[in-house]
């Protein structure tokens, strides 16, 4: 990155985006005029949302992604879900706590200042951004709360022709393609596809949607935008200083070009004996889990216990890295469309976002490679995948203090990463994981008696934590 050029360019990279018909920001167009001017007659909400998804890998109002079918996990399908908001939590909009009010005030101030910095008239920016924030608040009120987003509630499978009949405002080119829609609440879809067209304030909707485009890219601009974003982050996250540019760049490349950077990390820092030792450790924890399940579990009935044991045996452990990252031909083919330049950081970011969006869509109509995995090898974390019944331990997790090599007593690794192995394994049997069978299909295979017994056993833990009181804050823990 050439920071001198980035500072000289200032708003130009973003304004180049805002010249495109799909991405024109009404309030900025009022200030700059000409090619930036927005016209309701020339603007299409659906086309804008589609281009945001395809070019910017950004979902606003509707989240569209490709994922295994929950009830037929061998196949990828399109999924639709509610999208995120500008602030982290739905409660930040619908509650009136002092922190929620402060977050909303900080957000509105950022919206106005960003628009003005890009060329909007200040007075009009305040008026129009107030309306855009009010619109987002309406959206927050009809979002499905986390506690209601259970796997079985969220599964609503449609063909595109059926979805077309249900939501005629949206046009689909291949109506017989299967689709699972995760917008399970009629309230949400009604708001999006019935209320918005009748909202009679298309400019407000456009201002909101384009704000979200700009908001996601503020930190790729010059330092004056970074410092303005820092003022917002101080209020919402407690951040007190800017992350150095080199740090942001390293993190961005690591999280965007995951297989190329993963290959570099594996070549330099990962030893194959870690993989063998970890697989042995996983085998030991799995044996202990099944042994407890067979001999000590007295609340699960036998048919459910039998299937639980089968699922535990079937859990596929993935360690270190996916083998395909060692294939130079694959990596080169994967990355050939990217042409980076140190003189254009903004364009570099936009290229990677388009690359990520297209990589996701490319899985459509393909079968799920059930024995493969696609986790960033540098990740310092571990995962359970319900759709493939996998536990995953990337190379980044296999280092101290979590993982200790052969030169140390095995008890250190069992006490550190062994706990994590047990944690990930039990995700296959928790409130959500137990709804998926050994093949990763949504299948309520627990008996009602076992579910009741499980809930009774967990209630004591809930009661225990609910009784904890944080005296300094005057709050009780809530589970």
The percent of residues in the chain predicted with pLDDT above 90, rounded, is 71
pLDDT at 390: 96
Per-residue pLDDT band for 171 (boundaries 50, 70, 90) equals low
- Over residues 26-54, mean pLDDT: 93
pLDDT at 411: 92
Per-residue pLDDT band for 1 (boundaries 50, 70, 90) equals confident
Is residue 62 classed as helix, strand or coil in its secondary structure?
strand
On whether the CB atoms of residues 120 and 129 are closer than 8 A, the answer is no
Instruction: Please check the confidence at residue 91 and state whether its pLDDT lies above 60.
Output: yes
On whether the CB atoms of residues 389 and 316 are closer than 8 A, the answer is yes
Per-residue pLDDT band for 215 (boundaries 50, 70, 90) equals very high
| Higher per-residue pLDDT: 93 or 169 | 93
Q: How far apart are CA 163 and CA 175, in angstroms?
A: 8
Domains of the chain are 3-242 (1.10.1380.10), 271-325+370-470 (3.40.390.10)
Q: Which pair of tokens denotes residue 320? A: 């270190």
CA of 464: how far to CAs of 387, 454, 469, in Å? 32, 16, 11
> Nearest-CA neighbor of 450 among 309, 294, 289, 299?
299
**Average pLDDT over all residues of the chain:** 90
Highest mean pLDDT among 12-16, 186-190, 195-199: 12-16
pLDDT at 152: 84
Per-residue pLDDT band for 469 (boundaries 50, 70, 90) equals confident
Which residue in the block uniquely carries the two structure tokens 């990252």? 325
pLDDT at 200: 66
pLDDT at 393: 97
On whether the CB atoms of residues 379 and 261 are closer than 8 A, the answer is no
| Higher per-residue pLDDT: 144 or 415 | 415
Q: How far apart are CA 419 and CA 194, in angstroms?
A: 49
| Higher per-residue pLDDT: 51 or 162 | 51
Per-residue pLDDT band for 472 (boundaries 50, 70, 90) equals confident
Q: How far apart are CA 330 and CA 353, in angstroms?
A: 20
pTM across the whole model: 0.89
pLDDT at 479: 65
- Over residues 192-208, mean pLDDT: 80
Residue-wise pLDDT for 48-66, tens only, equals 999 999 999 999 998 888 9
Instruction: Please check the confidence at residue 109 and state whether its pLDDT lies above 90.
Output: yes
pLDDT at 187: 59
Is residue 211 classed as helix, strand or coil in its secondary structure?
helix
Instruction: Please check the confidence at residue 37 and state whether its pLDDT lies above 70.
Output: yes
pLDDT at 325: 94
Q: How far apart are CA 77 and CA 178, in angstroms?
A: 7
pLDDT at 199: 58
Residue-wise pLDDT for 217-255, tens only, equals 999 999 999 999 999 999 999 999 998 988 988 999 999
């Amino acid at each position: 990155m050439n920071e001198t050029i980035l500072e000289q360019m200032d708003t130009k990279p973003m304004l180049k985006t805002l010249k495109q018909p799909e991405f024109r920001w009404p309030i900025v167009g009022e200030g700059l005029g000409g090619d930036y001017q927005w016209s309701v007659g020339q603007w299409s909400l659906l086309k804008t949302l589609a281009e945001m998804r395809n070019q910017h890998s950004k979902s606003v109002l509707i989240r569209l992604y490709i994922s295994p079918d929950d009830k037929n996990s061998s196949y990828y399908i399109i999924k639709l879900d509610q999208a995120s908001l500008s602030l982290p939590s739905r409660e930040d909009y619908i509650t009136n706590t002092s922190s929620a009010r402060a977050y909303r005030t900080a957000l509105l101030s950022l919206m106005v200042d960003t628009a003005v910095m890009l060329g909007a008239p200040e007075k009009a920016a305040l008026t129009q951004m107030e309306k855009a924030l009010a619109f987002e608040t309406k959206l927050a009120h009809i979002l499905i709360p986390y506690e209601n987003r259970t796997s079985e509630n969220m599964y609503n499978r449609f063909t595109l022709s059926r979805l077309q009949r249900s939501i005629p405002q949206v046009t689909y080119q291949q109506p017989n393609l299967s689709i699972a829609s995760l917008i399970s609440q009629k309230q949400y879809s009604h708001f999006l596809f019935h209320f918005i067209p009748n909202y009679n304030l298309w400019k407000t909707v456009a201002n909101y949607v384009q704000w979200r485009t700009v908001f996601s890219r503020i930190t790729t601009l010059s330092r004056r935008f970074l410092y303005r974003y820092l003022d917002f982050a101080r209020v919402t996250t407690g951040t007190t200083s800017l992350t150095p540019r080199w740090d942001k760049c390293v993190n961005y490349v690591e999280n965007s070009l995951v297989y190329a950077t993963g290959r570099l990390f594996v070549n330099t820092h990962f030893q194959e004996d870690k993989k063998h030792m970890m697989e042995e450790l996983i085998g030991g924890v799995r044996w202990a889990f099944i042994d407890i399940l067979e001999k000590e579990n007295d609340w699960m009935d036998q048919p459910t216990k039998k299937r639980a044991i089968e699922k535990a045996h079937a859990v596929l452990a993935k360690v270190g890295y996916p083998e395909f990252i060692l294939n130079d031909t694959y990596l080169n083919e994967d990355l050939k469309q990217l042409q980076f330049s140190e003189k254009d950081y903004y364009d570099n970011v936009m290229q990677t976002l388009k690359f990520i969006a297209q990589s996701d869509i490319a899985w459509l109509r393909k079968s799920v490679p059930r024995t493969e995995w696609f986790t960033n090898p540098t990740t310092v974390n571990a995962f359970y995948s319900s759709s493939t019944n996998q536990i995953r331990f990337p190379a980044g997790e296999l280092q101290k203090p979590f993982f200790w090599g052969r030169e140390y007593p095995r008890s250190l690794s069992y006490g550190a990463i062994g706990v994590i192995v047990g944690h990930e394994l039990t995700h296959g049997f928790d409130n959500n994981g137990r709804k998926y069978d050994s093949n990763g299909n949504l299948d309520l295979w627990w008996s009602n008696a076992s579910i009741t017994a499980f809930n009774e056993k967990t209630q004591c833990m809930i009661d225990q934590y609910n009784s904890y009181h944080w005296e300094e804050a005057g709050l009780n823990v809530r589970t």
